[in-house]
Structure 1
């Protein structure tokens, strides 16, 4: 009996040890599963943190608002806005110069490539330094057309799309041509203008591409007339807007766009004239030979001189030039 009891006790011990080992193995398996799960949670947490940080960086990198730009709808502005339409931090629209000025006054754009005379209308505005639409001699796209000598002209039909050009016409009539004609606002239609007046002012693409010889008219280039009178360039349009409209970064972006555009003038002309390929040669020559886009010291002298001349005739009130930083 004692031997049987001893064997039973030994058997019970073996059973208990097996149960213990099974429980211990189960605990180890559970611990491993918990560790794996914890590792997965930590990895998931790390991924979530990385994603959150990435999203934060994306939010910081994304501009808070787009700068709204308005530019004239003619060929002469295209080198200055080269590549801007592909940017996410600006929006760009094209209109005639007078409409750009209206949009700026209405607060519908932050910055406009507007007729330079518009700057005098808005005492809190600033000018973007470095870039403009200018000329130093013949400009080709701003001209008087007449069927008689300029000194015999008694009336001029004005294309009112740009106040700068209309104002320059009045300055040149008084200071260079020595005439005092009547000025009549008119839509930019040369035949109709010459039917109602002795001469006509056209600007932009209509002046550049019109077949004036077919109407028996001659062309007087106002850029050439200005430079021959003053020895200075003329500034037709500038980027301008309220003093708090843009940052130094936007100023840099606009200057970079102008530099890039200056290196692609032929391509810009060809694309602009895609629907009228016969105009490509004239468009290329115009961008290369008639325009200057640098608002440098000579251009600034020309702009100041123009403002003084217009003010001396009582056409505007002059003011100092102020710039975006």
Structure 2
């Protein structure tokens, strides 16, 4: 598979990725680059098939395809503690009763496997996982618990439904002492080899967008209130709870996640984090 023309870039269609991608298109030549918005599971598929050249993807998808991808440094969606948008809704508290069936989102891979790791190794139970669209009411009609991610998880968390809610970011941090990286930005290895200049342009534009948005959250907060509801104080807390720099604590947490995934047979191979090298820095 070769390059697409224009270069295609995948953007996660959830608020948690806005600080990476807001104003990205203004920083790129629109004739040479195209940004495509999808949920993570769809971006995972499109990058794997070569329909995208570069994309934000589920961290787990990188683990599945690490030999074919290179990571863009200092770019990710993660948290050290609460993530606030990867939530397990339960009918009963887990300390009282382990769930026997869990409806799980079909929109991501990282969170579902993170849940499987913690259920197996931390809570020492083996529930049945039932893939389902992210509709909390329907999910709980036939399951003891439901895992929802992204904007639907946030909106569900605002409703007082008498449910018990676990934040997977907080659970992971309390269990391991580490952060968790839910999404990374990766380029197809062949694209990085054939056209490193274009990958570098996208990389620099993403870094510039990230740095700008971290200190100029106002427009993102306003957009979230308008598009998704809620109040500005919630969204300010939400964006500040996320980390986008893929620092050492997040990398360490992701490596442990991959190790556990291999241990449980969720991944077939060991995973090495391989990074794209910024050509202009050499």
TM-score (normalised: structure 1):
0.76
Q: Is 1:223 matched up with 2:169?
A: yes
User: The residue matched to 1:292 in structure 2 has which SS?
Assistant: coil
Give unmatched runs, 5+ long, in structure 2. Answer: 278-282
State the Cα deviation string for residues 128-172 of structure 1 (Å, max 9, x = none).
111100000011100100011224311100012101000000001
| Higher percent of residues as helix | 1
Alpha-carbon separation, structure 2, partners of 1:212 and 1:155:
24
Q: Single out whichever of 274-283 and 303-312 deviates more from structure 2.
A: 274-283
Task: Give 1:47's aligned residue.
Answer: none
Task: Give 2:37's aligned residue.
Answer: 94
CA contact (8 A) 1:212 1:219 kept: no
User: The residue matched to 1:157 in structure 2 has which SS?
Assistant: strand
Q: Is 1:71 matched up with 2:11?
A: yes
Task: Give 1:171's aligned residue.
Answer: 117
Q: Give the direction of change, closer, same or farther, for the CA distance of 1:312–1:197 in structure 2 (3 Å limit).
A: same
CA contact (8 A) 1:84 1:90 kept: no
Task: Give 1:28's aligned residue.
Answer: none
Task: Give 2:280's aligned residue.
Answer: none
Q: Which has the higher contact order (CA 8 A, sep 6+)?
A: 2
Instruction: After TM superposition, give the deviation of residue 276 of structure 1 in Å.
Output: 4.9
State the Cα deviation string for residues 6-36 of structure 1 (Å, max 9, x = none).
xxxxxxxxxxxxxxxxxxxxxxxxxxxxxxx
Q: Is 1:307 matched up with 2:258?
A: yes
Task: Give 1:269's aligned residue.
Answer: 221
Alpha-carbon separation, structure 1, partners of 2:228 and 2:267:
39
State the Cα deviation string for residues 254-284 of structure 1 (Å, max 9, x = none).
2222111212223212123324554433222
Alpha-carbon separation, structure 1, partners of 2:57 and 2:131:
20
CA contact (8 A) 1:98 1:115 kept: yes
Alpha-carbon separation, structure 1, partners of 2:40 and 2:75:
17
Give the counterpart of 1:214 among 160, 174, 182. 160
Task: Give 1:115's aligned residue.
Answer: 58
Alpha-carbon separation, structure 2, partners of 1:276 and 1:198:
27
Alpha-carbon separation, structure 2, partners of 1:119 and 1:73:
18
Q: Give the direction of change, closer, same or farther, for the CA distance of 1:277–1:185 in structure 2 (3 Å limit).
A: closer
Task: Give 2:211's aligned residue.
Answer: 259
CA contact (8 A) 2:83 2:242 kept: yes
Task: Give 1:141's aligned residue.
Answer: 85
Instruction: After TM superposition, give the deviation of residue 184 of structure 1 in Å.
Output: 0.6
Q: How does 1:53-72 map to 2 (within 5 A)?
A: 66-72=6-12
CA contact (8 A) 2:70 2:276 kept: yes
Q: Give the direction of change, closer, same or farther, for the CA distance of 1:253–1:180 in structure 2 (3 Å limit).
A: same
Q: How large is the Cα RMSD of the aligned pairs?
A: 1.7
TM-score (normalised: structure 2):
0.87
Alpha-carbon separation, structure 2, partners of 1:228 and 1:96:
28
Task: Give 1:132's aligned residue.
Answer: 76
Instruction: After TM superposition, give the deviation of residue 213 of structure 1 in Å.
Output: 5.1
Q: Is 1:186 matched up with 2:132?
A: yes
Q: Give the direction of change, closer, same or farther, for the CA distance of 1:264–1:66 in structure 2 (3 Å limit).
A: farther
Task: Give 1:296's aligned residue.
Answer: 247
Large movers: runs of 4+ above 6 Å: none
Alpha-carbon separation, structure 2, partners of 1:84 and 1:211:
30
Task: Give 2:147's aligned residue.
Answer: 201
Instruction: After TM superposition, give the deviation of residue 66 of structure 1 in Å.
Output: 4.0
